[in-house]
Amino acid sequence: MQTLVSLLVALSPAACARDEAEREYYRALRGAEEGLSREEQIAHLDRAIALAPGRLSYRVSRAIAWIDVRQFERAVRDLDFTLQRREHPYEYFLRGLALCQQGRFARALPDFDRAVELQPENSQFYRGRGLALLELGRSREALEDAEILVRLAPQAATSFYVRGRTLHAVGRLQEALQDLDRAVKMRPELVYPLRARAQTREALRDHEGAAADREIARRQAERERGIWAYLDPFRY
């Protein structure tokens, strides 16, 4: 969110705002830097949308803010509005993630499919689809996406997390453990690779290692409470 906000602010400084709606929009975008809560940022976006309901970028920004406060249904409604008016691969991806965070994996899958179709070189779309397929029990298809993901983004711990989970699902436990080891080493602050590795270690009868991973994950989850990027694999 903050990277997106910084980019938007840099490209479109508030001083150039053409009307009150745009001024409200930029107040929301600058909110994180100025100490506004997400709720206060959303209030500015609400006013911007009320003043200029046809500006789709305002609704996308509000959808991201809704995701930040775990109001996924509201995020989906904003993205429904924008996607009914024009197609955008990242917005399909965002809506797919929000649906997955509600447990609506089958409903999310067409959004990931369309995102991949529109922009097949974007690695993160395979992450979303691979995880959704895995949750639906379609592990071999998930592994296909995971292999593409690792090829496109070998620098990302999440790539090895997704492939590790899918390898576990198809019974290739030692390979799964290697990928999850790599994910944990690359991003030790992430909680979900630790939890996945605990499951793989348990399946390999390394009960002591599994217990250690669960305890580390528990402590990190407590310390990082509310930092959803560390806790939730479906976070954008």
From the list 137, 212, 200, the residue with the least C-alpha distance to 165 is: 200
163 within domain boundaries: no
Residue 100's contacts (CB-CB under 8 Å, 6 or more residues apart) are 108, 128, 131, 132, 135, 234
Tokens linked to 191: 């909680």
78 within domain boundaries: yes
Question: CATH code at 79?
Answer: 1.25.40
Give residue 16's pLDDT. Answer: 54
62 within domain boundaries: yes
19 within domain boundaries: yes
Residue 54's H or E segment, with its range, is none
Domain count, the chain: 1
3-state helix, strand, coil in the chain (%, to 5): 75, 0, 25
Tokens linked to 122: 């974007």
209 within domain boundaries: no
pLDDT (tens, 9 = 90+) of the chain, 236 residues, equals 344 444 344 444 444 558 899 999 999 989 878 888 889 999 999 999 999 999 999 999 999 999 999 999 999 999 999 999 999 999 999 999 999 999 999 999 999 999 999 999 999 999 999 999 999 999 999 999 999 999 999 999 999 999 999 999 999 999 999 999 999 999 999 999 999 999 999 999 999 999 999 999 999 999 988 788 899 999 98
Measured at the CA of 226, the angle between CA 88 and CA 45, to 5 degrees, comes to: 45
From the list 34, 105, 31, 103, the residue with the least C-alpha distance to 68 is: 31
53 within domain boundaries: yes
Q: For residue 42, how many C-alpha atoms fall within 13 Å in the half-sphere facing its CB?
A: 16
81 within domain boundaries: yes
* Domain, as residue range, for 54: 1-86
* Whether this model's pTM surpasses 0.85: yes
